[in-house]
Structure 1
């Protein structure tokens, strides 16, 4: 059973990860080059991933693709720890996909953001990877209780 203080820490970490996702997807970041140029829309799966790999710099490829995966990994890790209902891979993965789809829907209306199906794919992979790390930690510890 999870202790009260540990539960508060887990909820806090989940909240921090969700707030960070919101911050990175809704506000411009000049250092990373995000949200400073006029955006657009992409509905063709893997188109922007390929374009980033072929036509852009390695830095742009890493920031966009690896960054989208890494952004959702904490969500996939902390969601099942904070909310027992999400201790199933499918529920956590679907939650990551749905949160990403909501973000992309909001970005559709934002002038300086891209609304991109590839982001949904990459974010979902990130949530799945985070869940995989969660499961690996559980297996290594031998039980469900995880101290932070």
Structure 2
């Protein structure tokens, strides 16, 4: 019984997911808008500062072909890994508000990851001396897809084995 005498409903979903998602988003915005700047990912064509790249896969190719191992890890792998938590935590958070037991769908998570990444890139161009890069959106979205696939795998294991991690 609650304070007012009415029955309380059992919380559904994963209560930790909302807090983890909130903390992750704060860290993500700090890293992408305030922390470090690796400069332009276009090499000599964009020496840092306010730049942009609207050619898909151009900077990915240039970094992969001509970049150092450090650049490949920091820029390419870093952009992918940066969004894995988003693709993983958002579906667990979303489950708290669903009315059915079906898994969270793929496309809304990918859409929101793309929008969030686009938002970050626009803000990097407008408010910081960073590079707005369509390839970052592609890499970030890829990371969210990986995170979503991890969510589906874990949810499938939990559902099949009837283990509750709530």
Q: Residues 28 and 34 of structure 1 are in contact (CA less than 8 Å); yes or no, is this contact kept in structure 2?
A: no
Matching residue of 1:83:
94
Structure 1 residue corresponding to 2:133, chosen from 109, 116, 129: 116
Q: Residues 14 and 93 of structure 2 are in contact (CA less than 8 Å); yes or no, is this contact kept in structure 1?
A: no
State the superposition RMSD in angstroms: 2.6
Matching residue of 1:142:
159
Matching residue of 2:60:
49
Per mean C-alpha deviation after superposition, the further-off stretch among 39-48 and 106-115 is 106-115
Shift of 1:6: 4.4
Give the paired residue count: 144
CA 1:145 to 1:117, structure 2 compared with 1: closer, same or farther past 3 Å? farther
Matching residue of 1:21:
28
Structure 2 residue corresponding to 1:70, chosen from 78, 81, 86: 81
- Residue-by-residue CA offset, 1:31-70 (whole Å, 9 max, x unaligned): xx469x4241000000111111122211111111111111
Which is higher, the Rg of structure 1 or of structure 2? 2
Runs of 4+ residues deviating >4 angstroms: 143-146
Q: Secondary structure at the match of 1:109?
A: helix
Structure with the higher fraction of residues in helix conformation:
1
Distance in 1 of aligned mates of 2:73 and 2:29: 20
Which consecutive residues of structure 1, in runs of 5 or more, have no partner in the other structure? none
